[in-house]
Every structure is written in structure tokens, then in C-alpha cells.
Amino acid sequence: MIYHLFEYLKEFDIPGQGLFHYLSFRAIVSFTTALLISIFAGRKIIGWLQKKQIGETIRDLGLEGQMQKKGTPTMGGVIIFVSVVIPVLFFADLTNIYTMLLLISTVWFFLIGFADDYIKVFKKNKEGMSEKGKLVAQGLMALAIGLAVCFSDQIVVRENVEVTETIEITADSTVVATVQNQDVVKSTTTTIPFVKSHEFDYKYLSPFKGTLGWYCKWAIYVLMIIVVITACSNGVNLTDGMDGLAAGTSAIVGVVLGIFAWLGGNVVNADYLNIMYIPGSGELAVFMSALVGALIGFLWYNTYPAQVFMGDTGSLMLGGIIGVTAVLIRKELLIPILCGVFFAESVSVLMQRFYFKYTKKRYGEGRRIFKMAPLHHHYQKEGIPALIKGPAKALPEAKIVTRFWIVGMILAVITIALLKIR
């Protein structure tokens, strides 16, 4: 709103209004605003949750310190939601198609998580929404995003861009450049590492050619979008089992996605790094800055011992934001690397579930691969062998979370480095 207000009043030459033309300034202001809202409004929201006795219901799973968390306020995802949306409404370009889609997605996934927590807390149903119900709701939004990418004339990729001269700094892409031989196309190409052009076209997966092949490649692309967004949303949800784990890891991922959005939306940077240039996608850097600020502020209260849990209200929303952003900036195939922590958590649950069912059918009793799934709880039960000497033992929760953060940082650095590896 402030961004559009200054755009409307730009002819009056108000002191300082020129700063809002710069993507970098708006990203910094969004981060700072989200951080402050999360810290100061978070205290009020936590107090209200305590007053209403909206506490977490804990099942005794034999984990150290687990039952001490009983009654801790949940649905803290409201803090993250408010802290993200307000800066975005103030400082982002709300006419930008990428901002609009991500804002709508944020609200949608927030409502799914809120409904799930509402059923658990107020309806006293520990199961919350059914798995099928959540998957359908997530899939509908993912389908909407896929159709938007497919049919919107504002979502395009520019190919064969040649930058010949830098002229001046501007609002949208930081610099204006003289560009020759550019093709604006609707494309099913995406980013993939370890190849010369860093690009992969989903048409290679189509068994057909011609008109039928055109429809088939878009169907494959939309299907991939649905899978990625749904998987990300549930992956973060499964990771949210320790104080600060999901929030901290999501903040690391958010930083990388913000960098990718910044680079991919800038014609000069995209040309220099030889990556896909997506006009307008740089605006997502403002959104991701707000997300990272909100998460860091939330960690003020969510680190061990947590004063509030984000609940499904926060985790499903965070996963949705990550998945949608990755799709919009054409980085969805980097998700298994960048979101390796979420990926490992999800795979551990799937492996545990299928192996248990298989062994129960074959041997008459269910067996487990891990002491407990998701993966972070396995380390609470079994622990990992010392890197040098010593037997395996259960690890304190804070140490597990910190080590997962470190792994997330390593994966983030690797993902960024892949931009230059061919």
C-alpha cells in the first residue's frame, strides 16, 4: 500500500519516496517490519492463547522432556501469518502476478492449517482434519497455481537474452539494460543442476509430438507443480516436532529462495550467471524477506524451551509458501537438495509406514526401520554414534535442532553453488 501510495504521489517529489523504487530497500524494510511485528505482537498473541487455554495436547511417546510441553500454547502460526502479510501489503507491488499468487496461497494454506488446529483444540479431536481432506485442499490450491502458470500471459520466461549495455538503476529490476534478441515465451522449462544451460524442459517427458505433445507437456508440468507444492506443505508439517526446528530450517530455505528470486528477476544477474530470466519474479524477494523476518522473530519464542508452537496453522502455511515460491521462480527441481531436511523427514515417515505394513503382512508383526519417525524423533530415542568415539546415545532436543539447522545451511550453500556448476 505504501509502495503504491508513493507511486501515485511520485510527481510531488516527496523526500525519501524514491527509496521505495528500489527492490533492495523494500526487501530490507519488509524484513525489519516482519521481525518487529513477530517479536512485539507475538508476545500479545501468546498471552491471548494462554488466556484462552489454547494449549498443545501431548501424547506420551517416551521422549525426554516431552510431557513438560503439555499445555504450551499452539496455533502460533498466526504470529507468522500476521508478520508476513502486513509488510507484504505495505511494501510489495500488489499488482505483480507473482506477489498476488503467493499472497493468495499463503492465506489458503493458513486456513487449512487453522482449520486443522481448530478441530484438534476446540473440537477435541486429536486427529484434526482427515489426511484425505488436507491433501484435497492442498491439491486444489496447487492446481490453481499450475493453471495460472499455464494460462497467465503475465507468467513468461525470456530466452536468448543478450545484454549489451547497462544504463541506469530502476525500481523493478535494479538495473535497466540494453537488451537484444530476446524471446518472450510461455515455457515449461525449469532449472536443473549439472547441465550446461541449467535448464530442463518438461516436453522431454512427453511421449507425444505435435499438438498432443504440447498439451501433454503442460499436463506433466501442472502435475509436477501439484506434487511439489503438496509435498512441501506436508514436509514442513512433519518436520514441526521440535522447538525451533521447522521455523529455523524454513528461514534458511527462505533466504535462498529470496536470493534466487532476486537473481532470476534481474536481467543483468541472470545473464551473468546464465540462469533463467523471469520478468517480475524479483518482487518475490520482498515477500521472502518478510517471511524470513517473521520466522526469526517467531524463533524468539519458539526456541527451546518453546513458549509457543506454530501448529499446523504455521507448518502447512510455511510449506505451501516454500513450494509455491519454488514453482514460480522455476526452481522446483532443486527442492530435494535445498529442502533436504524436509525431504529426509518425509521419506523417513514413508519408509517407516510402508515397511511396517509390509512386515506385518509378511511376518505377522510390524517391524520398524527407525526407532521412531519422523527422523528427528529417532535421534531422541536412539541417537547417533559419536563422530570420533563413543556409543550411540539419545541426543538432547536442542542439539538435534541445531545440527539439523547446520545441515540445512550446508544444503543451502550447495544449492546456491549449483548455479555455477555445469
Mean pLDDT per block of 10 residues along the chain (422 residues) reads 64 66 91 97 93 73 66 92 96 94 98 94 85 95 96 83 56 52 78 81 91 93 97 96 95 97 90 86 96 98 93 96 97 95 96 93 89 88 61 81 96 90 66
The rounded distance, in Å, linking the Cα atoms of 359 and 368 is 9
Phi-psi region of 397 (alpha: psi -120 to 50; beta: other; left: phi over 0): alpha
Q: Output the pLDDT for position 173.
A: 47
Ranges of H-type helices in 183-281 = 210-239, 245-264, 267-273
Q: Which residues, at least 6 apart from 299, have a Cβ–Cβ distance to it below 8 Å?
A: 244, 247, 248, 251
The rounded distance, in Å, linking the Cα atoms of 318 and 80 is 9
Q: Output the pLDDT for position 123.
A: 85
Ranges of H-type helices in 265-366 = 267-273, 284-302, 311-328, 335-338, 340-363
How does strand 157-159 pair with strand 189-191? unpaired
Backbone angles phi, psi at 53, to 5 degrees: 60, 45
Q: How many CB atoms lie within 10 A of CB 44?
A: 10
Burial class (CB in 10 A: 0-12, 13-18, 19+), 236: buried
Q: Which residues, at least 6 apart from 330, have a Cβ–Cβ distance to it below 8 Å?
A: 157, 189, 190, 191, 264, 276, 278
Q: Output the pLDDT for position 403.
A: 94
**DSSP category for residue 70:** T
The rounded distance, in Å, linking the Cα atoms of 342 and 105 is 20
Q: Output the pLDDT for position 3.
A: 64
Domain layout of the chain by residue ranges: 20-333
